[in-house]
């Protein structure tokens, strides 16, 4: 069970990388929008969406480890930015290949952080796939 929890921690960390792209595209200043710092309310997702999330999260966890290692081995700031961009592109590709869009993937990730029962369901789905 620790392996699965670590896997989802890595996937949720990776989700932060994906979310960074979406937030970078927004022009609003979060300091001026008090709602921007609040977590989204839990949503209902289908079993199919949760399975897609579980599958994508497993792949993203592997990618996250791979790219974290590459980042640690890269000293040049420009090269690090290229590695981050490549990692982000690959993670987005994994999410989209799973059948989800990035916003839905991120929403499920946020819901899992707020809903222990949903986290348990997704962990069970991950162990069965």
Q: What is the pLDDT of residues 57-77, one digit of tens each?
A: 999 999 999 999 999 999 899
pLDDT tens by residue, 62-119: 999 999 999 999 989 999 999 999 999 999 999 999 999 999 999 999 999 899 999 9
pLDDT at 38: 44
State yes or no: pLDDT of 23 exceeds 60: no
pLDDT of residue 32: 44
Whole-number pLDDT of residue 27: 38
What was the pLDDT predicted at 129?
73
Kindly report the pTM of this predicted structure: 0.70
Return contacts of 13-18, CB within 8 angstroms, 24+ apart: 13/64, 14/57, 14/60, 14/61, 14/63, 14/64, 14/91, 15/60, 15/105, 15/106, 15/109, 17/64, 17/84, 17/87, 17/88, 17/91, 18/88, 18/91, 18/92, 18/95, 18/102, 18/105, 18/106
Residue extents of the structural domains in the chain:
2-20+46-128
């Amino acid at each position: 069970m620790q392996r699965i929890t670590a896997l989802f921690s890595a996937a949720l960390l990776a989700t932060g990388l994906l979310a960074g792209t979406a937030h970078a595209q927004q022009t609003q200043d979060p300091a001026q929008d008090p709602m921007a710092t609040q977590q989204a309310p839990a949503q209902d997702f289908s079993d199919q969406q949760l399975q897609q999330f579980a599958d994508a999260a497993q792949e993203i966890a592997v990618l996250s480890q791979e790219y974290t290692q590459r980042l640690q081995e890269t000293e040049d700031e420009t090269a690090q930015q290229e590695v981050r961009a490549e990692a982000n592109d690959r993670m987005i590709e994994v999410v989209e290949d799973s059948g989800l869009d990035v916003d839905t993937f991120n929403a499920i990730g946020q819901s899992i952080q707020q809903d222990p029962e949903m986290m348990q369901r997704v962990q069970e789905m991950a162990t069965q796939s």
